Amino acid sequence: MARTVVFFILTLFIYVYAQPVLTIENPWVRAVPPNMSMTAGYMVIHNNSNEDDYLIGVKSDISKMAEIHLSVEENNVVKMKHVKELKIPARSKVELKPGGYHIMFMKLNKKLSPGEKVTIKLIFKKAGEKTVEAEVKMSN
């Protein structure tokens, strides 16, 4: 009986700690006309840990600059506001979506075609760097 309990606890421990702390769901980048110099990226970030984490940076070879932004309305005008860090609460998720939080890719290095895959490196305060592959899509 004691061996069964130890085996169960050990199996549970391995399962819990083998789970990724942060998972990224449905990453995508908006396709834009060739003359546009910027676009946006979206995704859902799940934090499966018991501690808050923060998205503090973004890198990609598709643009010279990438920042975390929030769309806000002021005096009936929608503006984008740079966000230094985006809190990803423990045991929760944050959705980056049109009209809300998003990744702004500025000074694009190349034309992005629908169906193309691009690599995005997300930098988190605690979890470190996570690389995701995002599909270029037309607006939903």
pLDDT in tens, 89-108: 999 999 999 999 999 999 99
Residue-level pLDDT at 62: 96
Q: Provide the pLDDT for residue 73.
A: 84
| pLDDT, tens digit, 9 for 90 and up, residues 25-45 | 999 999 998 889 999 999 999
Q: pLDDT per residue over 50-71, tens digit each?
A: 999 999 999 999 999 999 999 9
Running DSSP on this structure, what letter comes out for residue 48? -
Q: How far apart are CA 93 and CA 76, in angstroms?
A: 29
pTM, whole model, 2 decimals? 0.82
Contact 115, 135 (CB under 8 A): yes
What pLDDT, on the 0 to 100 scale, is given for residue 15?
Answer: 47
DSSP string, 52-114: -EEEEEEEETTEEEEEEEEEEEETTEEEEEEES-EEE-TTEEEEE-TTSEEEEEEEESS---T
Nearest C-alpha neighbor of 83 from the set 68, 98, 63, 99: 68
Q: Is the pLDDT of residue 19 over 80?
A: no
Report residue 13's pLDDT band, with 50, 70 and 90 as the boundaries.
low
Q: What's the confidence (pLDDT) of residue 23? A: 96
- Position 1 confidence tier, pLDDT thresholds 50, 70, 90: low
- What Å distances lie between residue 61 and 43, 55, 64, 107, 109, CA to CA? 18, 18, 7, 11, 7
Q: How far apart, in whole angstroms, are the C-alpha atoms of residue 15 and residue 108? A: 41
How far is it, in rounded angstroms, from Cα 118 to Cα 131? 10
- Among the ranges given (49-58, 67-76, 125-134), the one the predictor scored with the smallest mean pLDDT: 67-76
